[in-house]
Amino acid sequence: MIKTALAIAIAALVCPASVAAETSPQSTPASIEETAITGFPHATLYRLPGAERRPLLVILPGAEGGDGAGKRFGPILAQLGYAAVSLPYYSPNWGSYGPPPEYADLPGSFIDIRVDQLADLRTTLSAMPGVDVERLGLFAGSKGSEFALIAASRYPWIKAVVAYAPSDLVWEGWGLEMLEAEGTRSSFAFGGKPLPFMPYRGFVEGLQAGPNADLLAIHENGRADHPDREAAAKIPVDAYRGKLMLVAGDKDRLWNSGRMSRSIVATRDAAGLRTEALIYPDAGHDLAGGSAEPRDDPRGGGSPEANAKARADAWPKVTAFLKDALRP
């Protein structure tokens, strides 16, 4: 019974309903080619047929892991003329405390996720027909946005980033290893070394609370507890010289993506770098895609109507941004 309760709590905490709704797999149109990518388990290239070399967009999912985001957005972005790559990099594995992982050959803990796997992916894709790695962008959400901004701050060949519900910091990791070792591991690593991170306050307590966990407080309280760690954990977004679009809501209840977006803008402004930021005062976390249909997202924040209105407003701006940044 205790293990079952913990499994339910884990699922509710790290895979919010809004993420599942947004990234549920869709059928791929017959006109879209799907190609597996050697060396990257469950990664898929989506593109229109033909010899044209198309700009590359790598899709980085959030805390839900797996390839749901790629299945959702890969065909959509391919229809818009991109070589869209779904890159699963994590598949939750809580051992006997949770259901079996969807993909047992991916990291099962969100700990020391390799940011530099993107460089390996780019090298592999450079040898594939119909992919232009010189025009490479990232399309990411939530923890995937954290990943994307870390990568962009280190790789000058990343030309564009769309970051939904982004973070300005690297955060603590999670997994079975953390149940008795809170505050000790990072979410991401680069060059074989864990990145400095901001700890949470009360993550395991949040697991026990399940759907009642206050994820926003877990992040905000951790940040308040450790002002001395802020500078080291801060993602150096002023090192990224490419084009950046942020999409966030001030009513986000998973983490404070509105405030963190403003922090990113301020850091880049100070370096003379432009950032396009769409911050919606009444919206929450569920902003990816262009669906104008209201849908419930009780944990992500914002009303269904406000989130739908924000999505409908943001999507044409996102697609215009990507076209300007990556297409000739």
275 dihedral zone (left: phi>0; alpha: psi -120 to 50; beta): beta
For the CA atoms of the chain, what is the radius of gyration? 18
Is the Cβ–Cβ distance between 82 and 57 less than 8 Å? yes
* Average pLDDT of every residue of the chain: 91
Give the CA distances from residue 56 to residues 99, 182, 183, 233, 323, in Å, rounded to whole numbers and listed in that order. Answer: 34, 37, 36, 29, 12
CATH number at residue 215: 3.40.50.1820
Q: How many domains does the chain have?
A: 1
pLDDT at 267 over 50: yes
Q: What's the rounded mean pLDDT across residues 108-137?
A: 97
| pLDDT band at residue 19 using 50, 70 and 90 as cut-offs | very low
Is this prediction's pTM over 0.85? Answer: yes
pLDDT at 298: 84
pLDDT at 208 over 70: yes
Sole residue written with tokens 């992500």: 300
Give the residue numbers spanning the domain of 226.
2-326
Burial of residue 46, with CB atoms counted within 10 A of its CB: 0-12 exposed, 13-18 middle, 19 or more buried: buried
Sole residue written with tokens 């949470």: 200
Q: What's the rounded mean pLDDT across residues 15-44?
A: 71
pLDDT at 14 over 60: no
Q: Pick the residue with more confidence: 244 or 24?
A: 244
Q: Which of 1, 47, 6 is nearest to 28 (CA)?
A: 47
